[in-house]
Amino acid sequence: MPSPKDRLASLRAELEDRNPAQPEFHQAAREVLESLAPVFTARPEYAQAGIVERLCEPERQIIFRVPWQDDRGAVHVNRGFRVEFNSALGPYKGGLRFHPSVNLGVVKFLGFEQIFKNALTGLGIGGGKGGSDFDPHGRSDDEVMRFCQSFMTELHRHIGEHTDVPAGDIGVGAREIGYLFGQYRRVTNRWEAGVLTGKGQNWGGSAIRTQATGYGSVLFAAEMLKMRGEDLEGQAAVVSGSGNVAIYTIEKLLRSGAHPLTCSDSAGYVVDEKGIDLELLKQIKEVERGRISEYADRRGASARFVSGGRVWEVPADLAFPSATQNELGEQDALTLVRNGVKAVAEGANMPTTPEAVRVLQEAGAAFGPGKAANAGGVAVSALEMRQNAARDTWAADRVEDELATIMRDIHRVCHETADRYGAPGDYVTGANIAGFERVADAMLAQGLV
């Protein structure tokens, strides 16, 4: 009989063969599978029940055409996706991403990560993800509305508060969620608040949902530092990106006494020696939808824009990759290590390459993987579902307290699981195994389905 390690290697080869040309999905699955050999040794019933084989195959993969008309009357056709990956712990839960890079492999990678992230929250939600290769950037509100209406006309038949609950992601913010919800209500004739999360607060949304992913990544970093006898006060931080995750990572760092120095977009990054001016950043990115270079133009002598540069060049104690997948590579990690980085918390989904993770871990930096460190967003989405089910609204302080408790619990279970399996301080191993065990035990209990 093959050893657990050989069996998992065989499963990985089979997965890559069955899912060709999906490198992001291969990478996400490989990271989890490489952690599981000691679990299979301790729990042979998982192998006997084919848990991993079932876990790596989505329960449902939906691909559909999205036709829409622009303001000039021209017809466009995009492709829509929803991958409902695993519902052993609850209804599928995961965002919708609107970006030209979206394809089936990207959606499967995101959905696979979501299984474990959602399990770690302990909130009874399964894993799924979706989106489209539509690019909302530069489109008018009317064009975005027409696209969202066409998208939801097809998607509505596959979702529901007890089945699948999408949220926002890259390219899908409050505007898009509003248009999607409006069309869902129109075609179903139901006010089903729990079918989408990330809604406006005056019509079923939760306080601090916008801030939750960024806040959560900082809370997780604080827990990692606490294990080393430190806190966030006075720590210099580099943050990539300038969307919701980056902006509210910066906000939480400032509120915690840390010193965030950078933010970025696809054209380059700004570094501000005085620390990022949060109100100016919000004005440029949230109100004006401008470019990050404008921050340096308006901030003054303390800030400069580096065209095409990478924030990881800036010396700092903490790093928060908060833009997109595989943005922090091996050379970036080596630079961070040379500059004395203490901890890295992933705000985006899989933003650090496997080679970079190894560099950081071997150097002794605390590394918080996305499925743990950026779980704050989906945690507050689940709290939004709870409020919707009770037709209740919670104050921001209550939601933030709940989020802090959830992030502490995620850190604790990752840390304890890593210790239990002989990998102390390895949050990647701890997160992968803890999330896997929760899902696997539910799958065992529910039989071969």
Residues designated catalytic: 129
Write down the residue that tokens 């827990």 correspond to.
223
Residues making up the chain, counted from first to last: 449
Q: Do residues 302 and 272 lie in contact, with contact meaning Cβ atoms separated by under 8 Å? A: yes
Strands of 114-170 (E only): list them: 126-132, 164-168
Judge contact between 118 and 91, C-beta under 8 A: no
Name, in order, each residue with C-beta under 8 angstroms of 71's C-beta and a sequence gap of 6 or more. Answer: 140, 142, 143
Q: Which string of b and e fits 98-118 if b means at least 16 CB within 10 Å?
A: bbeebbbbbbbbbbbbbbbbb
Going by C-alpha positions, the residue among 105, 93, 85, 82 that lies closest to residue 152 is 82
Coil/strand/helix, residue 95? strand
- Given its phi and psi angles, is residue 185 left (phi above 0), alpha (psi -120 to 50 degrees) or beta? alpha
Among the residues of 21-87, which ranges form H helices?
23-33, 37-42, 44-48, 51-55
Contact 170, 99 (CB under 8 A): yes
Taking the CA of residue 106 as centre, how many other CA atoms within 13 Å lie in the half-sphere pointing to its CB?
Answer: 22
Q: Cα–Cα–Cα angle for 25, 264, 206, nearest 5°?
A: 70
Kindly list the strands in the beta sheet with 318-320, ordered across the sheet, starting from the edge strand earlier in the chain. 259-260, 236-239, 318-320, 343-345, 366-368
- How does DSSP assign 317-352, residue by residue? SEEE--SSTT-B-HHHHHHHHHTT--EEE--SSS-B
- The owner of tokens 């949050």 is 427
Query: Which residue type is seen at 44?
Result: P
Cα 301 to Cα 96, 217, 297, 347, 391: the distances in Å are 39, 30, 9, 29, 50
d(C-alpha 334, C-alpha 332), whole Å: 5
Instruction: Please state, as a whole number, how many other Cβ atoms lie within 10 Å of the Cβ of residue 144.
Output: 19
* Cα–Cα distance, 368 to 432 (Å, whole number): 12
